[in-house]
Chain A
Amino acid sequence: MAHRIVILGGGTGGTMIANRLRRVYDESEAQIAVVDRDDRHVYQPGLLFVPFGLAHVEDIVRPRHRQLRKGVEFHETEVERVVVEETAVELANGTTLPYDVLIVATGVVLQPEETEGMTGPGWRENVFTFYDVPGAEELARALDGFEGGRVVVNLVDMPIKCPVAPLEFAFLVDAYFTDRGTRGDVELTYVTPLDGAFTKPVASERLAGLLAEKDVELVTEFAVGEVDGPGGRLVSWDEREVPFDLLVTVPLHGGAPYVARSEGLGDELGFVPTDPHTLQSVARPNVFALGDAANLPISKAGSVTHFEGEVLTENVRRFLAGRELDSSYDGHANCFIETGFGKALLIDFNYETEPLPGRFPGPVGPLPLLRESRLNHLGKLMFQWLYWHALLPGRDIPGISAEMRMGGKERRPEPV
């Protein structure tokens, strides 16, 4: 009998793994089903550019089902719950999908309502997020009409998708108002719960340097307890305040709501406890997690999901063949950081190695690591094409291996 593979989520991870597995198994060997609540696949890195008029929503959204290979079934409905002891998924449309292997790839949901006052008066008037399509579009209008004052960029707490995105947003705000000739009327502040600009020491120092160069004030260890839209105040749990005229915040993240309804599947935040090297869930041997949905100690980012794809494909095969799993996923992440004025940084790291300066050898490279360059910006733009044409179809990206390489990295960075 054909294996039954059910994939929850038709985003970056779900689409990629469905396509990879479809190439591995023909239809007599495995049935592959993908479930998602809608048919709109958003190229999420593009959301960063929408508020500045540098990208438009119609350019970054495509139908999900069209990204799937022939022979992958697509179910457009919510997941009701997973019943791991019955190896079945109950869907909101009444269908039950039994599985031999389940892959959880439903990413995260934004939880702005978890922070007191965030979705109260002022939400989408002077309090915005660019982490979803409507938010990014409304923020474009707000920035366009902004005459001057205090702009605050904030993330409430980790984990968030693409931890560098709020920094990129601050850099782009600087560039946006500089181009309009009104930067002098804008006071720009970056407010983070972390003890520095970023999570890892070397990158954190470099990025803090860039914030200072661009005249962005950095406020650290600020854990937001309340947003007061009408009063224009961000208030921390320990009762500090940062005033704003325009707040751009990244709300709290949690796993998809059905995870909490599925006994034994997720942790208290709705993420799936997962082995960091094999991607097998702690819940059951035949359940795997991919991308943002997993609780792994690495960035929630498309590049991570892409690198995980290789190991996961291999492990689904090994599991179904009754063989020992491959435990070679090393936490590899690779991110361009847009810094404005047509430049970007590149960082490359994994579980063990923090982002280091140096050079990243590649087919178009070498690209400078942790240093601003035009080439990195072009890399970031080129990535959108690779996303639809290489990453989602489940192909390897030439010159970039799933395993992180030390070649080109400076082990002992020079003092900044």
Chain B
Amino acid sequence: MTMTALELEGALVERDPEGFLVDPAQWSRELAVELGHEAGIPELTPAHWQVVEFMRNRYLETGTAPSIRALGKESGVPIKELYRLFPKGPAKLAAKIGGIPKPRGCI
């Protein structure tokens, strides 16, 4: 697998070919802002953070990232709004910004 690296304040962060962090421990809030820019989100609002943190915490607790349906049911943000915040794929994008692997819901 080809890895890419993102340089942030002198430190290299390892990523998979789709841009997801390889090691969730390398994540920081500053990095999230930068990953958001890369994904076309100029500013992470409190609503963005609510979703990103929900995703990340759920992943750290259970070992899997929630799917979009689970996000809609449990994050407190309705699905319609999730798509406004994270265009195209809210679960995928919020996982990427939250520094966790791509949600495996899709088999």
Contact = CB atoms under 8 A, between A and B. Distances in A.
Interface of A: 157-159, 163, 193-195, 199, 221, 223, 225, 237-238, 252, 267-269, 297-299
A288 B106 CA distance: 23
A297 B107 contact: yes
Contacts of A297: 64, 104, 107
Contacts of B105: 158-159
B73 interface: yes
A159 B68 contact: no
B18 to A, nearest CB: 10
A299 B74 contact: no
11 contacts: A158-B67, A159-B106, A163-B107, A194-B106, A199-B107, A221-B89, A237-B82, A237-B83, A238-B87, A267-B70, A268-B66
B107 A269 contact: no
Contacts of B82: 237
B70 to A, nearest CB: 5
Contact of B80 (A158, A195, A199, A225): A225
A269 B69 contact: yes
A237 B107 contact: no
A268 B70 contact: yes
B107 A158 contact: yes
A237 B70 contact: no
A110 to B, nearest CB: 14
Nearest to A221: B88
A199 B67 CA distance: 14
Contacts of B83: 223, 225, 237-238
Nearest to B88: A221
B79 interface: yes
Nearest to A333: B107
B88 A225 contact: no
Contact of B69 (A157, A194, A221, A299): A157
Q: Which 8 A-B pairs have the closest CB atoms?
A: A237-B83, A158-B106, A238-B83, A297-B104, A268-B70, A199-B106, A268-B73, A199-B107
A203 to B, nearest CB: 12
Contacts of A195: 89
Contacts of A159: 105-107
A242 to B, nearest CB: 16
A237 B107 CA distance: 21
